[in-house]
Amino acid sequence: MRFVDKIESADTILIGFPIDQGTENKGCGDAPAKIREAFDNFYFSENVKEKKVYDASDVVEEENFEKTMEKIEIKISKLLEYKKPIISIGGNHSITTPIIKAFYKNNKNFGVIFLDAHPDCQKGYFPFGDVVTKIVEQNIPIVLIGLRNWSKDEYEFLIKNKIPFLQAKEFSVERVIKLAKENLPKDVYISFDIDAVDPAFAPGTGCIDPCGISSRDALNLLYAINKNFNIIGFDLVEVNPSKDINNLTTNLAAKLIFEVVDNL
C-alpha cells in the first residue's frame, strides 16, 4: 500500500470517519488516527502487491447527528465520481448507513456482506443498532456473517425478512462464499465490525462477545471475497482504542485494511 498525492492516480480511496455520535460507547472516534499510525507497522502485503492509495482525510462530526450523517453521504457521493473503491475507517457502525445510501444512489445492483457479532436490526435502538434494518428497507441484498449475540426481536426480524445469515459457530470461509454467491450480485460492499473477530484478537471494541472468528479467518475471508466478487467499498468500524490492549485491535484493523487495499 503506497500513498499518493493525487486522487486521479490512485487505485483506491481511503477516508476516515471519527464518529462517536449515535452510540453509548464513546472512543471509536479516535480509531481513524490510531489505525493510520498502525499502517507504518506493515511494509508489503502478504500477496506481494502494492496498490496506490489516496487518503481523503476525515469527515468530522457536526453538532447535530443527522447533519453528520448527511455530511458523510455527501462526501462519499463526491468520491464515487472517481469510480474507485472506497475504504472507510470508523468510527462507530452508524457511519455505514449514509455510506450505503450514497453507494445505492450510484449503483442499484450491489449486495452487502455484513460481518458483525450482532445483526444490528434492533429497530429504534440508537442509530448504530439498526444499520441492517435500514439496508433491508432499501431492498439491498445482504448476508450477515459471524453472528453470536442477538435479541429475540432481531432474530425474528431476520427470519421474517428471510435474511441469510451465518452464525460464528458455523463459520468457514467456504460457507460464507457459498452463501454470498447464492444471495448477492457480483458487486459487493463489505461492512466489517471489528467485534466479528473474537475479543482474544480484538479486545479494543465497545461490545465484547466471546467465541468470534479468528484474525486469520477474517483475513482469509477478505481474500476469498476479493477473489470471487468485485469489492466496490469496505468499511471497518467499532475499533475503540481506549479499550485496546497493547494496540492489538488497531494493529489488526490496519492489517485488514492494508491487505484489502493491496488485493483489490
User: Which tens digit of pLDDT belongs to each residue from 104-120?
Assistant: 999 999 999 999 999 98
Burial zone of 77 (CB within 10 Å; 0-12 exposed, 13-18 middle, 19+ buried): middle
At residue 161, what is the residue type? N
- Residue entry with cell 439498526: 130
Q: Report the alpha-carbon distance of residue 45 to residue 23 in Å, rounded.
A: 34
Supply the pLDDT for residue 97.
94
Supply the pLDDT for residue 135.
93
Residues of the chain with pLDDT under 70: 124-129
Supply the pLDDT for residue 70.
96
Q: Report the alpha-carbon distance of residue 232 to residue 108 in Å, rounded.
A: 12
Range of the domain at 93: 2-263
Supply the pLDDT for residue 25.
73
Q: Model pTM?
A: 0.96
| Total of domains in the chain | 1
Supply the pLDDT for residue 122.
80
CATH number reported for the structural domain that contains residue 88 in this entry: 3.40.800.10
Phi first, then psi, for residue 161 (nearest 5°) are: -95, 5
